[in-house]
Amino acid sequence: MTQTPTFADAARALEEEFALFDDWRDKVEYIIELGKDLPPLPEAYKTEANKVRGCQSQVWMVAELEPGGRIHIRADSDAVLVKGLISLLLRLYDRRTAQEILDNPPKVLETIGLSKLLTPGRSNGLYSMVARIRSFAEAFAAARVDA
d(CA 65, CA 144): 10
Task: Give the pLDDT mean for 68-78.
Answer: 96
User: 2: pLDDT confidence band, cut at 50, 70 and 90?
Assistant: low
**Which has the higher per-residue pLDDT, 144 or 82?**
82
Residue 98 pLDDT exceeds 70: yes
Q: What is the average pLDDT score of the chain? A: 92
pLDDT at 5: 83
Q: In this predicted structure, what is the pLDDT of residue 145? A: 57
Q: Spot the catalytic one: 55, 98, 126, 137.
A: 55
For residue 43, what is the enclosing H or E element? Answer: none
SS in 3 state form for 69-118? CEEEEEEEECCHHHHHHHHHHHHHHCCEEHHHHHHCCCHHHHHCCHHHHC
- Domain residue ranges in the chain: 7-146
In CATH, the number for domain 7-146 is: 3.90.1010.10
Q: What is the pTM of this model?
A: 0.92
Instruction: Please tell me the predicted confidence (pLDDT) of residue 55.
Output: 79
Q: Is 40 a catalytic residue?
A: no
Is residue 63 a contact partner of residue 73, using CB atoms and an 8 Å limit?
A: yes
